[in-house]
Amino acid sequence: MTDFLQLAEDIAREAGHMLLAKRPTMSEEVETKSSPTDVVTALDKASEELIRERILAARPDDRILGEEGGEEPGESDVRWVVDPIDGTVNFLYGLPDWAVSIAVEVGGQAVAGVVNVPARGEVYTASLGGGAWLGAERLRCNTGVPLSQALVATGFGYSAARRVVQGQVVAEVLPRVRDIRRGGSCAIDICSLAAGRVDAYYERGVNQWDFAAAGLVATESGATLGGLRGKQVSPEFALCAAPGLFGELHDLLVTLDADRQP
């Protein structure tokens, strides 16, 4: 796991340096994915290509799942889960909350994760059983926080129909918590929870590459990560908090039918 973590960190740092050096501005030509608000630059693809090249140079038999390139088959039971830029809109607008996220799974179990936040000079790391870290600082999520005092992070999808539902849900959550934060990067939100910067996080519609690395950082910090109604974390729903708060927020979100289809 140490070798996996070191390789993932080295690659995430290299990709982050490249992205910082080449970040475009809003006036430059961009592509779009599912809607005009889901902005994708050529650097998304360039970052993933760099990451894939470095992984396969070191471990040519491993599998890779990436946001841009999909699943690349391999012969080993090791899979790398890659988000080349999580928080693309922040990246394009010059906001600092975007990240390079790389997780390593063995037999379907995450064993190492790195979330590099280049614009903030912060690198979150975690290994299975080895704890969660921000640089040299061991991370522990906040515990003993009641729902009414919780600072809750969330996010919104790109589909207008989904946003309508998410807006209805957050309008019901807001009066019951300390406040809401919307940072624009699932990976950073979950790592912020591990670092005690927020108390809880929930969102519908995030993908495995968004939460694979950050999820290990969170669970190694003592947090619980899952879905609703006993399900595993998935694109259907992601919920993360210390165990007691997880239960309180979970029950509220179930009452609000927060995972309903638009």
Handedness of CA 28, 32, 35, 37 (dihedral sign): negative
Return the ∠ at Cα 201 (arms to 149 and 102), rounded to 5°.
145
DSSP 159-193: SHHHHHHHHHHHHHHGGGSSEEE--S-HHHHHHHH
Contact 165, 253 (CB under 8 A): no
Give the CA-trace dihedral at 132, 71, 87, 28, to 10 degrees: 140
Contact 187, 83 (CB under 8 A): yes
Structure tokens at 184: 């624009």
| Residues identified as active-site | 67, 83, 85-86, 88, 210
